[in-house]
Structure 1
Amino acid sequence: MTESLFQPLQLGKLTLKNRIVMPPMTRSRATQPGNEANDIMAKYYAQRAGAGLIVGEGTQISPLGQGYAWTPGIYSPEQIAGWKKVTKAVHANGGLMFAQLWHVGRVTHPDNTGGVQPISSSAIKAENVKVFVDNGIGEPGFVDVVTPREMTEEDIQTVIQEYKQAALNAIEAGFDGIELHAANGYLINQFIDSNANNRTDQYGGSIENRLRFLAEVVTAMVDVIGADRVGVRLAPFTSLNGTVDDTPVETYVAAAALLDKLNVVYIHIAEVDWDDAPDTPIAFKEKVRNVYKGVLIYAGRYNAAKAEAIIEDGLADMIGFGRPFVANPDLPSRIKNGYPLATHDPDTLFGGSEKGLSDYPEYNN
C-alpha cells in the first residue's frame, strides 16, 4: 500500500496533491549561448507534473556560479523568459515547481566561468573532482577543477545579493518558490563543512560561524519573497565534490535548528545514494525532526515501500525519487498502480536534446 504517499500536504500556502518530489537533477540542455531554459525543458518538466512538487535542476545565480557546461542560469532577462516557458507548462499540467538556486563555488573550471578564477570559503582545491566543459563537439569533456580564491567579506556580500536577486527572478519567472542548494559540495556546503573551510574570521571555525553564510543567504531571500517560499537542501553525510565535515550530526542538527528559527518552508536532505552506501542513521533523522517543525523531504535510494515507511514513522513528510523520474514521466501513477518502472539510459543524462530527456513514454497497460 502507498496511501501515505498520496495524502495531500500543505507547504506554506500551497496544497500539494501527493508526497512525491521530483528532486533537482542536472540535465545540461540549456540553449547556447546564454544558458537559457527552453521548449524541450518545458516539455520534460510538464510531463512530470504529477509529482506533488517538482524542484528544478540546479540553476546558477551568476556567471561565476556555473560549474558545468550547458546548465541554465536565472540572472539575465533571457534566462527569466526561458524559465517562464517551463513554469507555464508545468502549471498548465497541474504541477507546482520550485527553482533550485545554485552557486558551485570551487566546483568549476575557468572554461565554465568566462576565464575567471572560482571563489570559495577558502583557497582549498577540491581533490579528485572533475567537471565537464564544452569541448566543441557536443559531448562533455571532463577536466580537473582548479584552486579557488578565498572569498573576501565584500565577495560574500556580493554573492548574498546575487542570491537575493535570483530569488526575485525566480518568482518573476513563475516559480512557486525556491530551493537553496546548500548540499553536495557546492558553495554554501563549502562554508558549512569543516574540511573545506579554514577561515579564521566570523565565517569559519565554530559550527555557528560556518553556518553564518547559510543564515545570511536564507535571511536575504526570506526578506524579499517570504519564508513560505524558501526551502533548503542539505547533504549531511555525503562527501560529494570533496566536502567532508568532522562532526556531521552535530553540524547538521544545528543547521536544521537554525533553519527552523528562520521558518523556511522545508528542508530537503540528500542522503548518500551509491549502491553500497550506509543508511542515514535513524537517530539523526529523529534529532532533525525534533529541532525542525517544517516539511521534511528525504531523497536517495527510496522505493515506494521504504518511502511509505518513513512517512508513516513521522520522520519525513515527502520523498524525492531522482533517477526513477528520468525514465518514468508518470512515476506517481506507476507507484500508485504498482506498474513496473522503466530504466534510464545513462548515456543521455547530460547534454543533447530530446533523446533521453522528453522521449520516455508513459506506461501503457
Structure 2
Amino acid sequence: MANALFSPIKLGKLTLKNRIVMPPMTRSRASQPGDVANTLMATYYAQRASAGLIVSEGTQISPQGKGYAWTPGIYSAEQIAGWKTVTNAVHQQGGVIFAQIWHVGRVTHPDNIGGEQPLSSSALKAQNVKVFVDNGTDEPGFVDVVTPREMTKADINHVVEQYKQAALNAIEAGFDGIELHAANGYLVNQFIDSESNARTDEYGGCLTNRLRFLDEVVTALVEAIGADRVGIRLAPLTTLNGTVDANPQHTYVEAAALLNRHQVVYLHIAEVDWDDAPDTPTSFKQALRDAYKGTLIYAGRYNGDKADNAITDGLADMIGFGRPFVANPDLPERIKHGYPLAEHDATTLFGGGAKGLTDYPVYQAK
C-alpha cells in the first residue's frame, strides 16, 4: 500500500480524502449538436469519484476555443445544465470535481470552429500537428491544422473575458473549482513558449511579456471565483502540439513564481509521459517547489510506489494517474490493495458511446 497517497489533504476550503487525482482526459463523448455534457459522461465521472480530486476533460470556453470533434463546452446555458448532471452525480458519490477550461488557440481546424480561422499568439502554424474533425461517421477523421491569425489586443481582452465567464459558468454548473489549461501547446502555452510567440508588442519577446497573457487570465479567474478555487496546469518539458521553449526550466520556474503571487490553490505539472521519455530532473522539481508554495500535483507515468515516494520526498502533494483511470474506475482501491490494473482499449478513447468509457468493471477480489 502506498501510504502517503491515502492521507487526506486540504485544498483551499475543501478536504480531499486522498491524494490521487484523475487528471483531464479528452474522451469526445459530448452530445451533438451543441457540445453538451450528458448522462453517459456523468456515469463515467461518478464511477471514478473515489479519486481525491477529479479534473474534467478540457471544456472549451467558446466556440472558437474548440480543438477537436465532440468535446464539451462551458459557454451556453445548455452546456451548463449538462455539466450540472455530471457534478451532481460526482457529488452524490462523495467526489470533488474541478472543470478544466481551455482554449486551444491554433490547435484546431476551421471545420471545428464554424469555418473561422484559428487564433494564436502569432501567425505561426503548428508543425506536424493533426486534430480530428467530425467526418460524418463515428470514427474521427484526422486533418492537419492551419495557419492561425495573430490575436489583436481586442482579441486578447475578449478571450480573457471568455475565460472569466467560463469560470463563473463552471461554479454555476456545480464544479468545486476550475483548472486553467495552460499546457500541452494550447493557447496560453502558445504565448508562454518562445518558439510559438513571435510578437513584438507587450505580449512577446522577453519572458515577462510572454507570461503577461497567463498573468491576465489568472487575474481574471481569481477575481471571478477566488484563488482557492483556481488551479493551473503547465507542461514545462513537453513539446506537445508544436510548442517549444528555448529555456523551459527558467521559463516555468518564473511561471510558478507568478502563480505563487496569485496564491492559486494548485499547480498541476504534466510530465512527459511517453515510454522512453526522460524523467523530469529532481533539481527542476525542487526549483518549482521553492517557487510555488501551494499544492503541487504531478502527472505522468506514475505507479503507486513512485507516487508514494514523490509525496514522501516532499516534491509533490498529489499525483495524477491518467490512462490507468480509463480502465480502472476503482483505481484508488486497486493501488491501496496492490490489485492488478486493467488495460484500456485505445480504439475507444475518442468518440463513440459507452464501450470503453463506462463498461470497465471494478476489481473483484477472489
Q: TM-score range by the shorter chain?
A: over 0.9
* Cα deviation, residue 180, structure 1: 0.0
Rounded to whole Å, the distance in 2 between the matches of 1:364 and 1:184 is 36
1:119 corresponds in structure 2 to 119
Q: Helix, strand or coil for the counterpart of 2:208?
A: helix
2:133 corresponds in structure 1 to 133
2:180 corresponds in structure 1 to 180
Offset from partner CA, 1:128-181 (integer Å, 9 cap, x none): 000000000111000000000000000000000000000000000000000000
Q: Helix, strand or coil for the counterpart of 2:358?
A: coil
Rounded to whole Å, the distance in 1 between the matches of 2:255 and 2:302 is 24
2:190 corresponds in structure 1 to 190
Structure 1 residue ranges, 4+ long, deviating more than 2 angstroms after superposition: none
Rounded to whole Å, the distance in 2 between the matches of 1:51 and 1:282 is 26
2:163 corresponds in structure 1 to 163
Matched, 1:274 2:274: yes
Runs (5+) with no aligned partner, structure 1:
none
Offset from partner CA, 1:44-80 (integer Å, 9 cap, x none): 0000000000000000000000000000000000000
* Cα deviation, residue 233, structure 1: 0.1
Offset from partner CA, 1:256-296 (integer Å, 9 cap, x none): 00000000000000000001100001000000000110000
Rounded to whole Å, the distance in 2 between the matches of 1:221 and 1:236 is 22
1:334 corresponds in structure 2 to 334
Runs (5+) with no aligned partner, structure 2:
none
Which amino acid letter does the alignment assign opposite residue 70 of structure 2?
Answer: W
1:87 corresponds in structure 2 to 87
2:143 corresponds in structure 1 to 143
Matched, 1:203 2:203: yes
Matched, 1:305 2:305: yes
1:102 corresponds in structure 2 to 102
1:2 corresponds in structure 2 to 2
1:295 corresponds in structure 2 to 295
Rounded to whole Å, the distance in 2 between the matches of 1:352 and 1:138 is 6
1:33-44 alignment to 2 at 5 Å?
33-44=33-44
Identity %: 76
Rounded to whole Å, the distance in 2 between the matches of 1:97 and 1:137 is 31
Q: Normalised by the size of structure 1, how large is the TM-score?
A: 1.00
Rounded to whole Å, the distance in 2 between the matches of 1:131 and 1:47 is 29
2:23 corresponds in structure 1 to 23
Rounded to whole Å, the distance in 2 between the matches of 1:291 and 1:235 is 16
* Cα deviation, residue 343, structure 1: 0.3
Rounded to whole Å, the distance in 1 between the matches of 2:319 and 2:51 is 10
Offset from partner CA, 1:24-43 (integer Å, 9 cap, x none): 00000000000000000000
Rounded to whole Å, the distance in 2 between the matches of 1:224 and 1:24 is 22
Aligned length: 365
Rounded to whole Å, the distance in 1 between the matches of 2:262 and 2:201 is 23
Which amino acid letter does the alignment assign opposite residue 358 of structure 2?
Answer: S
Rounded to whole Å, the distance in 1 between the matches of 2:357 and 2:50 is 17
Rounded to whole Å, the distance in 2 between the matches of 1:230 and 1:55 is 12
Offset from partner CA, 1:316-361 (integer Å, 9 cap, x none): 0000000000000000000001111000000000000100000000
* Cα deviation, residue 224, structure 1: 1.1
Which amino acid letter does the alignment assign opposite residue 74 of structure 2?
Answer: I
Rounded to whole Å, the distance in 2 between the matches of 1:25 and 1:59 is 10
Q: Helix, strand or coil for the counterpart of 1:275?
A: coil
1:251 corresponds in structure 2 to 251
